[in-house]
A = this chain, B = another copy of it.
Amino acid sequence: MIISPRLERLRDAGYKLTTARATVLGVIETHEGHMTSAEILDEVSKRDSSIGRASVFRTLDLLTRLAIIRPTYTSGSATPTYVLMPDGHHHHIVCVQCHQTIEFEDCGLGVLSERLEAEFGVKLTGHLLEFYGVCGDCSEAGVVDDEG
């Protein structure tokens, strides 16, 4: 079993390091990007077919609670995708036409984060920032947008 720094965060939080958990996290870490639950199930199954469906979902839930991954919607109400938040945060732009995601790094939210912690008495461990709009390709393709 490969014990990544993120996997150790499980143990630090009082959870056991099991094969199922290591495999699920391994799959997501290897892929680095958005994955649907179906893709994760499929890849986990390839690596270790003895791992059950339920454990995969349980692990996704656990990783979400620890802010290691985050489920987000790239298309309307359909299947969510799970994305790794290596340093507790993630930022992307979602094209509302073609559902492509563009990821970017700096968000400058550290200051806001600290202010919110003080203001609301919370302890923040991560964040997700999503912008919505129309990507360059879709704009060129001629898209409905008569606001201006």
Measured CB to CB, the residues of A under 8 A from B are 12-14, 37, 57, 60-62, 64-67, 70-73, 76-78, 80, 93, 95-97, 102, 104, 107-109, 112-113, 116-117, 119-136, 139, 144-147
Contacts and interface: CB of A to CB of B under 8 A. Distances in A.
B125 A132 contact: yes
Given A12-B146, A60-B77, A124 B132 contact: yes
B96 A65 contact: yes
B77 A73 contact: no
B144 A14 contact: yes
Chain A contact residues: helix, strand, loop or mixed = mixed
Contact of A124 (B125, B127, B131): B131
Given A122-B135, A125-B132, A64 B80 contact: no
A122 B133 contact: yes
Contacts of A128: 128-130, 132
B127 A104 contact: no
Contacts of A132: 67, 70, 124-128
Given A96-B67, A146-B13, A147-B12, A104 B116 contact: yes
A125 to B, nearest CB: 5
A143 to B, nearest CB: 9
A77 B96 contact: no
A120 B102 contact: yes
A14 B146 CA distance: 9
